Amino acid sequence: FKTLHEINLRGQRVFIRCDLNVPLDAAGRVADDTRIRASLPGIQQALQQGARVMVTSHLGRPAEGRLEARDSLRPVAERLAHLLRTPVPLVTDWLDQPFDVAPGAVVMLENCRANPGEKANSRELAHRMAALCDVYVNDAFGTAHRAEATTEALARLAGEACAGPLMASELQALGRALAAPERPMAAIVGGSKVSTKLAILNALAQRVELLIVGGGMANTFLLAAGQPVGKSLCEPGMVDAAREVMATLKARGARLFLPSDVVVADAVSETALPAIKPVAEVGGSDLILDFGPQSMRRLVDELETCKTIVWNGPLGVFEIEKFSHGTRMLATAIANSKAFSIAGGGDTVAAVNQFDVADRIDYVSTAGGAFLEFLEGKTLPAVRALEDRAN
Ligand code: 3PG
């Protein structure tokens, strides 16, 4: 597909679809501006070329045609203005009321997902948006797994369509890790449920030399391996699926890493008393809440030999200090490793930030769901639309 720098933007009306779906705090202020910062290069590039820039995004999941105050992009526009050091007026009724943008200026178009037809990928809506711009830029990798009017139909209908720099670098980094990875390759997949990540586990089992399963999912795999898990979060109904993942790995000569010791407690709380136990000694009332130190030493050694590492999901309940050591050691091991490393997904990015390793991981994706679907090997509809335009 085309990228932004291939197009002359001077004086053009440029519509940039970003993913500015950021968390807000209780007072409605931006709680984490990572996605806004990651979107700056594309917006700045257009501004520097003297384009008339319109930026939009979805925020949350508003009902169509009814925008509640909490779904407004106003705090996002304010943060963007602060970061760009330039005013970013919010245009609310942008489909129905005419508005003007001067060359070298930028406006924010209110939450695009509130427009009727957005979620249904309406061509009629996309036609109306196409009439507002000369160039459409998709820089919203985090929303690339959604076929919505601003991510899919508009890419097909706008006069000119291209990928923004964030979209391009996400695809390049993730593509490099998946298409032709240097081997051995390891993937760490953590999180609570096998059922929500089975497709990713199956896809990765076909690619990697080492699959590390963490979090609540590890308990289901331990159960599948005949180990006791006490009262731990696990899905007995997914044991067969876990065994299939194990069989896929084995048939390829690849390995599954499971903990040999774990941190247990009787409750998921700040005040619970943790104990370290070999997995075989996990008792009937124990909750497994983290990998143990012996497992972590083994895991760190294993990761040292890898040349590509993909990380999604924590090993334990890292939000609570006493159950965070496994995830912290994992984050540090990935940061110290010479492997090409990528990390992505909401919890994972929170862990990367909490343990302050973002600068030392080769690529930290801004995406959650899109990152996971990419790992599954799916073609993302927004990316396909850009590719079709280029052909
Ligand atoms: C995300 O945060 O994963 C993206 O912004 C997509 O949001 P959605 O799941 O509401 O489509």
pLDDT in tens, 149-172: 999 999 999 999 999 999 999 999
Q: What are phi and psi of 308, to 5 degrees?
A: -135, 135
- Examine the residue annotation and report whether 369 is marked as an active-site residue of this protein: yes
Centre of ligand 1 to C-alpha 271, Å, is 34
The response to whether 252 counts as a known ligand-binding position is no
pTM: 0.89
Laid out side by side, the sheet with 275-278 consists of 275-278, 261-265, 287-291
Contacts of 97 (CB under 8 A, 6+ apart): 91
Annotated catalytic residue, options 50, 104, 230, 369 = 369
Ligand 1 pocket: which of 18, 58, 166, 347 to mutate (most atoms <8 Å of CB)? 58
The response to whether 298 counts as a known ligand-binding position is no
Q: Indicate if ligand 1 lies below 6 Å from the C-beta of 345.
A: no
Q: At what angle do helices 239-251 and 215-224 cross, to 10 degrees?
A: 80
ipTM of predicted assembly, 2 dp? 0.99
Contacts of 87 (CB under 8 A, 6+ apart): 81, 105
- Examine the residue annotation and report whether 79 is marked as an active-site residue of this protein: no
Centre of ligand 1 to C-alpha 309, Å, is 24
- Examine the residue annotation and report whether 277 is marked as an active-site residue of this protein: no
Q: What pLDDT score does 176 carry?
A: 87
* Two tokens, residue 117: 């037809």
Residues 299, 307 contacting (CB under 8 angstroms): no
- Examine the residue annotation and report whether 119 is marked as an active-site residue of this protein: no
Q: Indicate if ligand 1 lies below 6 Å from the C-beta of 62.
A: no
Q: What pLDDT score does 193 carry?
A: 87
Q: Indicate if ligand 1 lies below 6 Å from the C-beta of 369.
A: yes
Cα(154)–Cα(138) distance, integer angstroms = 9
CB neighbours of residue 119 within 10 Å: 17
Please name each of the domains of the chain with its CATH number: 4-165+381-390 (3.40.50.1260), 183-338 (3.40.50.1260)
Q: What pLDDT score does 192 carry?
A: 86
Centre of ligand 1 to C-alpha 368, Å, is 7
Q: What pLDDT score does 367 carry?
A: 93
Residues 213, 190 contacting (CB under 8 angstroms): yes
**Residue 294: burial class (beta carbons within 10 Å; 0-12, 13-18, 19+):** middle
Q: What pLDDT score does 133 carry?
A: 98
Residues 330, 304 contacting (CB under 8 angstroms): no
Question: Which residues of the chain carry a pLDDT beneath 50?
Answer: none
Centre of ligand 1 to C-alpha 36, Å, is 14
Annotated catalytic residue, options 35, 79, 128, 207 = 35
* Two tokens, residue 142: 């985090």
Residues 174, 145 contacting (CB under 8 angstroms): no
Residues 377, 352 contacting (CB under 8 angstroms): no
Q: Indicate if ligand 1 lies below 6 Å from the C-beta of 142.
A: yes
The response to whether 35 counts as a known ligand-binding position is yes
